[in-house]
Amino acid sequence: MKQNYPIFFYKSIEFFTKLYIIVIPKYYEETRGKNMENKNLIEIAKNAMKNAYVPYSNFRVGAALLTEDGKVFTGCNVENATYGATNCAERTAIFKAVSEGYRNFKKIAIISDSPNFTYPCGICRQVIMEYGKNIEVICANRDGEFKVHNICELLPYAFTNEDIERSRINE
Ligand SMILES: [Zn+2]
Query: Which CATH superfamily hosts domain 37-163?
Result: Cytidine Deaminase, domain 2 (3.40.140.10)
Residue 126 Cα to ligand 1 midpoint, Å, equals 9
Residue 122 Cα to ligand 1 midpoint, Å, equals 6
Distance between CA atoms of residues 88 and 116, nearest Å: 17
Mean pLDDT is lowest, of 4-13, 60-69, 127-136, 159-168, for 4-13
Mean pLDDT of 42-53: 98
Domain ranges of the chain: 1-35, 37-163
Whether 68 sits among the annotated catalytic residues: the reply is no
pLDDT above 90: residue 31: no
Could you tell me which of 52, 55, 62, 132 has the C-alpha nearest to residue 93?
62
| Active-site residue, from 43, 79, 90, 145 | 90
Buried b (16+ CB within 10 A) or exposed e, 145-159: ebeebebeebbeebe
pLDDT, tens digit (0-9, with 9 covering 90-100), for 105-122: 999 999 999 999 999 999
Residue 96 Cα to ligand 1 midpoint, Å, equals 15
At 77, the amino acid letter reads N
pLDDT-above-90 percentage for the chain: 75
How high is the pLDDT of residue 14? 86
Structure-model confidence comparison of residues 17 and 104, the more confident one: 104
Residue 77 Cα to ligand 1 midpoint, Å, equals 8
What number of H helices and E strands is found in the chain?
7, 5
pLDDT-above-70 percentage for the chain: 94
